[in-house]
Amino acid sequence: MLLVYSDLFRRKSLLVMFVAWPYLTTAFMLIFGYAVGSPRVFIERVGVDPIQFMIVGSYLLFSIMTVVDDIMWRPIYDEQLGTLPYIVSSPTKLVIHYLSMPIPRFIASVVLGATAVFPVMIIFRGLEGLLIGAIVVLLSLISAAVFTPLATAVGLSLYTFGGENWRAINVIRPLLLIIMGVYYPRWLMQWPLYIVSSLMPPAHCIEVIQRIIAGLAETYTVLISLVLAISLGVLYGSPMARSATAWERKKLEVGVKT
Amino acid sequence: MSEAIVARDLTKRFVTKKRVGLFRNYSEYVDAVRGVSLKVRYGEVVGLLGPNGAGKTTTIKILSTLLLPDSGSASVCGFDVVKEPQKVRRNIGIMLSVEKGFYGRLTGRENLLYFGALYGIGKNELEQRIKYLLDLVGLNELGGSDRLYEEFSLGMRARLALARALLKDPPVLLLDEPTLGLDPPSARKIRGLVRELATKEGKAILYTSHNMFEVELVCDKVILINKGVVVAEGTPEELKSRIPKVRTLELHLNSFPEDLLSEIRSYGLDVREPTQSSDGLYVLRILAKRPEEIVDDVLRLTASRGIDVVKLKIEEPTLEDVFVYFTTAEGVEKSGTQ
Ligand SMILES: Nc1ncnc2c1ncn2[C@@H]1O[C@H](COP(=O)(O)OP(=O)(O)O)[C@@H](O)[C@H]1O
Ligand SMILES: [Mg+2]
């Protein structure tokens, strides 16, 4: 636990950004959103003002990205800092270490990001907004948790087998997030995209949130989505473990960079 | 079981893929280590000495379980580095770089807390240990415990790295060029500590360097490595006694006629090309077993040519001479037949 606290401490300069970021992206997405399509079209098709979608989308995107970023970048970061050999040669297991790294930052982003979600939801929904806000926060936790195995597996496999191409992570990362459909109602996606996005655990959480906001939530669809999300998350656990072993093995073969 | 580190015939070949054009690749091989064997006992500092690219870091990485050897075997504290890496890791402290390896936005103390936690040291014990270590390496007095690592000087970084290596109080230390590029006080501090840790606490220490002078200061035993091969080993004294022409007659001359060199050589003396000293004198070195016997002859020669001998001294061999000897063809042949 001490490890986690000291990590949070290192990032104290980033805390300011946590507070500002959701507001910034929301503002940006609003402007961007209005530019792309008229809000009236959106309302006609979905039945809800796009602002709600945007703010929740930004929030989800941000909290998931915090975790994914941390996990995907951390090994590279440690390699460049020269801290990797000391981490590899510690008794703590590598996967466990990298999975625990984003926790403090994630908590910070969830808490601080919520400051953007709650006011907006309360303005639009009144007291009900409070409940929706709480659900959104909860689901963002689940989203991040179930996305982690997949993100780790993809990231580490790329580092292991991609050679010099590991920088492709820059492309893959936003792609993963877009495919999940944070900004657009998932049930209105084209079917090929819908299937691909269904393979991503957090997509189902996102759908739940979107349905709740659009007032289309039914107990059984919500349950099915959640079960899907969690089982997919668990399913990706084994590729994650395998990619971590392969990555460590590769490092030992070419020598951990100092 | 007084041997803490044992390595037998370690080899490691690195393969680097070079890209030619868009699709064609070719592989380049570097044999970084070609059959290195070594032993380090508890209470002993062994210097692994060699020029850049000799394979020192590669050897250290293999011993610290950060690199798998292609062949050969090694054990640390009786545990095999390939088969029981976790047990080895629990028994070693490593220092792989003086300038990197910590988080820039944490202070010295926080960095140690972080790595201590990673090594699974309990909170109270860890805090005491850190306090002790920061004092030991002199970081407290330099204000390093509460300053951010990114503001550290190289000397402070090296001290912190040594402190980290000592966090677990391991019986074995693997230090890769721990004084490379340091300011003299920091380098001296680190050398002093290394010496002390071996002598007083009985730690086994493998210490790499390409600086002969410092290896002679701290090491009980020296292993010379060149191009991935051990070319000689022994105590500094043993090594020096193994080079045949061990001493040098050094003359500082005010002028140097071109044919002087060949004239001296015509007497059968082993003389090196002159170098120029900072005060504009020519420094001539003649290698001989007993230089005092040739001093008279040499002085007579220079007098007859009207050259002033400003300074004259007889130098004992340095480890550098040993090193040059063993890494040139002449030495390699002889060490091979022994
Ligand atoms: N990861 C690597 N990939 C390819 N070549 C390497 C790698 N690491 C070291 N080498 C090569 O192996 C040789 C020995 O390197 P090293 O052990 O670092 O030498 P030293 O530490 O004695 O300077 C060098 O020629 C170096 O270029
Ligand atoms: Mg080196």
Domain of residue A22, residue span: 2-253
Phi and psi at residue B19, to the nearest 5°: -95, 130
Helix ranges (DSSP H) in chain A:
2-10, 12-36, 39-46, 50-81, 84-88, 94-100, 102-125, 127-161, 169-179, 191-198, 201-214, 219-235, 237-254
Distance B223 CA to ligand 2 centre (A): 15
Would you call B66 and A255 a contact, using CB atoms and an 8 Å cutoff? yes
Q: Using one digit for the tens of pLDDT, what is the confidence trace for A135-171? A: 888 898 899 889 999 988 988 898 888 776 777 777 7
Distance B210 CA to ligand 2 centre (A): 9
A208, A138 contact by CB (below 8 A): no
Cβ of B318: how many Cβ atoms within 10 Å? Answer: 16
Residues 110-139 of B with CB under 8 A from A: 110, 113-115, 117-120, 123, 126
Does the pLDDT at position B67 exceed 60? Answer: yes
B284, B215 contact by CB (below 8 A): no
B14 Cβ inside 6 Å of ligand 1: yes
B164 Cβ inside 6 Å of ligand 1: no
**Amino acid in position A35:** A
Residue B173 bridge partners (DSSP): B93, B205
Q: Which of A213, A217, A176, A214 is nearest to A197 (CA)?
A: A176
A81 domain residue, yes or no: yes
- Chain A positions contacting chain B at CB under 8 Å are 2-3, 6-7, 9-11, 13, 81-83, 85-92, 97, 163, 251-256, 258
Distance A100 CA to ligand 2 centre (A): 32
More confident residue, A255 or A102: A255
Q: Which of A153, A151, A119 is nearest to A242 (CA)?
A: A153
**Amino acid in position A74:** R
For ligand 1, pick from B48, B58, B209 the residue to mutate: most ligand atoms within 8 Å of CB.
B58
Direct distance between the N- and C-terminal alpha carbons of chain B, in angstroms, rounded to an integer = 28
Q: Using one digit for the tens of pLDDT, what is the confidence trace for A201-250? A: 988 998 888 888 888 778 888 899 999 999 999 999 999 999 999 999 99
- Residue A133's pLDDT band, with cuts at 50, 70 and 90, is confident
Residue among A92, A252, A256 minimizing CB distance to B120: A92
Least confident of A87-96, A98-107, B53-62, B307-316: A98-107
**CATH topology (fold) of B247-315:** Alpha-Beta Plaits (3.30.70)
Please state, in angstroms and rounded to a whole number, the distance separating the CA atoms of residues A223 and A215. Answer: 16
Would you call A3 and B114 a contact, using CB atoms and an 8 Å cutoff? yes
What is the pairing mode between strands B275-276 and B282-288?
Answer: antiparallel
B178 Cβ inside 6 Å of ligand 1: no
**Amino acid in position A195:** I
Does the pLDDT at position A104 exceed 80? Answer: no
B216, B287 contact by CB (below 8 A): no
- Residue A59's pLDDT band, with cuts at 50, 70 and 90, is confident
Interchain contact B58–A (C-beta under 8 A): yes
A119, B135 contact by CB (below 8 A): no
- Residue B333's pLDDT band, with cuts at 50, 70 and 90, is very low
Cβ of B268: how many Cβ atoms within 10 Å? Answer: 7
Distance A2 CA to ligand 2 centre (A): 33
Residue B175 bridge partners (DSSP): B95, B207
Distance A52 CA to ligand 2 centre (A): 57
Structural domains counted in chain A: 1
Q: Which of B115, B185, B191 is nearest to B149 (CA)?
A: B115
Q: What is the pLDDT of residue B334?
A: 47
Contacts of B96 in chain A (CB under 8 A): 82, 85, 258
Distances (CA, A) of A159 to A72, A168, B26, B208: 9, 10, 21, 31
**Domain boundaries for CATH 3.30.70.600 within chain B:** 247-315
B27 Cβ inside 6 Å of ligand 1: no
Q: What is the pLDDT of residue B201?
A: 96
Residue among A7, A13, A91 minimizing CB distance to B90: A91
A258 domain residue, yes or no: no
**CATH topology (fold) of B3-241:** Rossmann fold (3.40.50)
Distances (CA, A) of A243 to A109, A152, A173, B173: 27, 8, 17, 31
A200 domain residue, yes or no: yes
Q: Using one digit for the tens of pLDDT, what is the confidence trace for B96-143? A: 999 999 988 888 998 998 899 888 888 899 999 999 999 999 999 998
B171, B88 contact by CB (below 8 A): no
Q: What is the DSSP letter of B273?
A: P
Q: Which of B185, B237, B196 is nearest to B218 (CA)?
A: B196
Contacts of B57 in chain A (CB under 8 A): 258
Cβ of B226: how many Cβ atoms within 10 Å? Answer: 20
Contacts of A2 in chain B (CB under 8 A): 113, 117, 123, 126
Tell me how close the Cα of A140 comes to any Cα of chain B, in angstroms. 28
What is the pairing mode between strands B270-271 and B309-315?
Answer: unpaired
A242 domain residue, yes or no: yes
A181 domain residue, yes or no: yes
B66 Cβ inside 6 Å of ligand 1: no
Q: Which two tokens stand for residue A195?
A: 């299937």
**Domain boundaries for CATH 3.40.50.300 within chain B:** 3-241
| Residues with a beta carbon under 5 angstroms from ion ligand 2 | B 57
Please state, in angstroms and rounded to a whole number, the distance separating the CA atoms of residues A198 and B143. Answer: 55
B58 Cβ inside 6 Å of ligand 1: yes
**Which residue's CA is minimally distant from atom 17 of ligand 1?**
B55
